């Protein structure tokens, strides 16, 4: 148990101390507080539990473990809920427009509850793509001692399948490779239980980035959702937040520029999702750390891709868990001079101290490559500029797709039209599929193009066509794809002016994306272009479209 001092009750004391706080204490008695509890630091536990998705269906039990740990260490824990939505369920539908929006709603709700209730410290337990960065943004804004706990990864489905197997089965059916019965068999067995999607998709990418950032306990990002290790991780986080309170260690002490550089390097080494770019920019904004797209380019020049993980690779997260997770990788990177070892973490120790006694991976494993034999010698996250994306775009190019693509544009307004075209066989080899008006404002909500990219892969066109968009991609997307094209079409970016048949060149080595149309022709097209009317005029999507910044700035709503 931590020795409790009044300094650890900076916020809760304002709510429960003194005669004037009698009404507040009366309310809290009704929810289980004793007189003794009013003298303890209050620890808010933000649970993203919901039965809307397997990623989060078990998190209520994990939050209870964190509660036990905080109470055992001398605090008074209070569990509260925030929302989550499921990308895997909503992808390809109008509902997916709410996905990225949920990141802001989650951040806002954590800030609102903790700020109102006077919690002295925070633990957040997240398990799906957007609720993890949402939790970090909320904790960062409040800047009270905080720890993030990852809900853990799912087990593989039958035949080494996962959710992406199902998406790609749809494309394989359209190509005539799978019958409806075969697709149904994959559908029924690919998701065996609780946990986040099983590859190095956005959930596992962000969990790894947050651990590398120092905001999770060591090992938190690489544990199975249903395991003794994950339950222990939650309990220990509950205890450790009291230690952070005692030492007054807050998110801004941990989430420094050096820490973000560490997170970027680990994401690259793991071949992580392009969504990490969007989310790390937003998280850095929350703590006033200057981070830009160009930083990903510079850091990427000297960071190799080492992990052979899905979607572009072979293995699943559960298999990385079995050999030790990301801690041995980080130890290798630290020893190679690729990580800053002097940064503070939620253990109260530096990253170097945390990694000092970490054992290497077992001999013979081939999930994490040696530095001498990388999958790619530099980053797979390629920031592209050019007359098609003057303020930057994000490509995920591991090298397996090739490093350069040149073709003719086939243009679609929105994801649904593109998916229908792909499944109906409109695309031919050598074309660049252009999906526009899917940006943060134009969608609104910057939907993931997982259904179109999965259809492309399922139809065997992964190396034959490219796909570009002002929307974004799921961590499960692979192939020659470029997203986050800015300025977006809704703002009159050049992608709004592309026409069928235009020449487009994407070059990962020169980091350029260019439209083979003269400036005079583009000027004429711009003169004819009419800004679209907003699709939503009421509610959260309308508010989001009015407030959201460019994807090049993290698509934040409080800039």
- Check the annotation: does 55 bind a ligand: yes
Q: Are residues 315 and 398 in the same domain?
A: no
pLDDT on residue 267? 98
Is 533 found in the same domain as 449? yes
Report the alpha-carbon distance of residue 132 to residue 67 in Å, rounded.
19
Whether 482 is covered by a domain: the verdict is yes
| Same domain flag for 328 and 399 | no
User: Quick check: pTM over 0.75?
Assistant: yes
Handedness of CA 220, 221, 226, 227 (dihedral sign): negative
Asked whether residue 486 is domain-assigned, the answer is yes
Catalytic site residue from 47, 146, 216, 474: 474
User: Which of 339, 355, 371 delimits the end of a domain?
Assistant: 355
Scored b (16 or more CB within 10 A) or e, 96-119 reads bbbbbbbbbbbbbbbbebbeebbb
- The rounded radius of gyration (Å) of the Cα atoms in the chain is 23
Residue 537 is part of a domain; what is its CATH number?
3.50.30.80
The answer as to whether 120 is a domain residue is yes
On whether both 425 and 320 belong to a single domain, the answer is: no
Dist. CA 554–CA 122, nearest whole Å: 24
Q: For residues 335 and 454, state if they share a domain.
A: no
197 is in an annotated binding site: no
Is residue 420 located within the same domain as residue 519? Answer: yes
In CATH, what number is assigned to the domain containing residue 81? Answer: 3.40.50.2300
Q: Has 448 been labeled as part of a binding site?
A: yes
Residue 360 lies in a domain: no
DSSP annotation string for 198-224: SSSSHHHHHHHHHHHHT-S-TTTTSSB
For residues 203 and 271, give the distance between their C-alpha atoms in angstroms, rounded to a whole number: 13
Containing structural domain, residue 429: 381-553
> Is 295 annotated as a binding-site member?
no
513 plus 453 within the same structural domain? yes
13 among known catalytic residues: no
Same domain, 303 and 391: no
136, 35: one domain = yes
Does the annotation flag 431 for ligand binding?
no
Are residues 340 and 453 both part of a single domain?
no
Residue 327 maps to a domain: yes
- Those residues whose C-beta lies under 8 Å from the C-beta of residue 449, and which sit 6 or more positions away, are 415, 418, 435, 438, 467, 469, 471, 472, 473, 474, 477, 481, 483
The domain tally of the chain equals 2
Does a structural domain hold residue 190? no
Give the model's pLDDT for residue 400: 78
CA distance 318 to 157: 11
Q: What would the 3-class secondary structure string for 398-446 be?
A: CCCCCCEEEEEEEEEECHHHHHHHHHCCCCCCCEEEEEECCCCCCCCCC
Asked if the structure places residue 166 within a domain, the reply is no
Domain assignment present for residue 558? The answer is no
Q: Looking at the structure, do residues 348 and 237 belong to the same domain, yes or no?
A: yes
User: Can you list the residues of the chain whose pLDDT is less than 70?
Assistant: none
Residue with tokens 């940006």: 439
What pLDDT sits at residue 475? 85
- The answer to whether residues 336 and 206 belong to one domain is yes
């Amino acid at each position: 148990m931590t020795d409790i001092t009044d300094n650890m009750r900076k916020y809760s004391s304002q709510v429960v101390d003194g005669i004037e706080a009698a009404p507040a204490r009366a309310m809290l008695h009704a929810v289980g507080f004793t007189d003794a509890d009013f003298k303890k630091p209050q620890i808010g536990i933000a649970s993203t539990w919901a039965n809307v998705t397997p990623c989060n269906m078990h998190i209520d039990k994990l939050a209870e473990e964190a509660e036990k740990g905080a109470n055992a260490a001398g605090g008074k824990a209070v569990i509260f809920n925030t929302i989550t939505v499921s990308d895997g369920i909503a992808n390809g539908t109008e509902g997916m427009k709410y996905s990225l929006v949920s990141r802001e709603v989650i951040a806002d709700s954590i800030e609102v509850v903790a700020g109102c209730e006077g919690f002295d410290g925070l633990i957040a337990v997240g398990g799906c793509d957007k609720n993890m960065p949402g939790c970090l943004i909320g904790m960062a804004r409040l800047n009270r001692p905080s720890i993030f706990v990852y809900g853990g990864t799912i087990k593989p489905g039958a035949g080494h399948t996962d959710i992406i197997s199902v998406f790609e089965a749809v494309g394989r059916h359209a190509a005539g490779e799978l019958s409806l019965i075969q697709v149904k068999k994959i559908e029924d067995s690919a998701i065996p239980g609780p946990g986040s999607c099983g590859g190095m998709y956005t959930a596992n990418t962000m969990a790894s980035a947050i651990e590398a950032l120092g905001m999770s306990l060591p090992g938190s990002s690489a544990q199975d959702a249903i395991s003794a290790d994950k339950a222990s991780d939650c309990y220990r986080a509950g205890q450790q937040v009291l230690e952070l309170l005692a030492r007054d260690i807050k998110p801004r002490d941990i989430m420094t520029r050096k820490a973000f550089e560490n997170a970027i390097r680990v994401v690259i080494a793991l071949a992580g999702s392009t969504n990490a770019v969007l989310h790390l920019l937003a998280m850095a904004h929350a703590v006033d750390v200057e981070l830009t797209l160009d930083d990903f380019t510079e850091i990427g020049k000297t960071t190799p891709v080492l992990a052979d993980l899905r979607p572009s690779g072979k293995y699943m997260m559960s298999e990385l868990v079995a050999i030790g997770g990301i801690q041995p990788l980080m130890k290798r990177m630290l020893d190679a001079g690729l990580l800053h070892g002097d940064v503070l973490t939620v253990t109260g120790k530096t990253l170097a101290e945390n990694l000092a006694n970490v054992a290497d991976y077992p001999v013979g494993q081939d999930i994490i490559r040696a530095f001498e034999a990388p999958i790619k010698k530099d980053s797979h996250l390629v920031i592209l500029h050019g007359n098609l994306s003057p303020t930057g775009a994000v490509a995920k190019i591991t090298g397996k797709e090739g490093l350069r693509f040149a073709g003719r544009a086939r243009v679609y307004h929105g994801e649904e039209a593109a998916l229908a075209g792909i499944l109906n066989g409109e695309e031919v080899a050598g074309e660049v599929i252009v999906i526009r008006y899917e940006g943060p404002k134009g969608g609104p909500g910057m939907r993931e193009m997982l259904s179109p990219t999965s259809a492309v892969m399922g139809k065997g066109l992964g190396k034959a066509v490219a796909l570009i968009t002002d929307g974004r991609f799921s961590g499960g997307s692979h192939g020659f794809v470029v997203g986050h094209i800015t300025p977006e079409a809704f703002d009159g970016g050049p992608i709004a002016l592309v026409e069928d048949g235009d020449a487009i060149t994407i070059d990962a080595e020169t980091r350029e994306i260019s439209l083979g149309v003269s400036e005079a022709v583009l000027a004429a097209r711009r003169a004819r272009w009419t800004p679209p009317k907003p699709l939503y005029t009421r509610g959260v999507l309308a508010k989001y479209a009015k407030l959201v910044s460019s994807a090049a700035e993290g698509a934040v709503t409080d800039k």
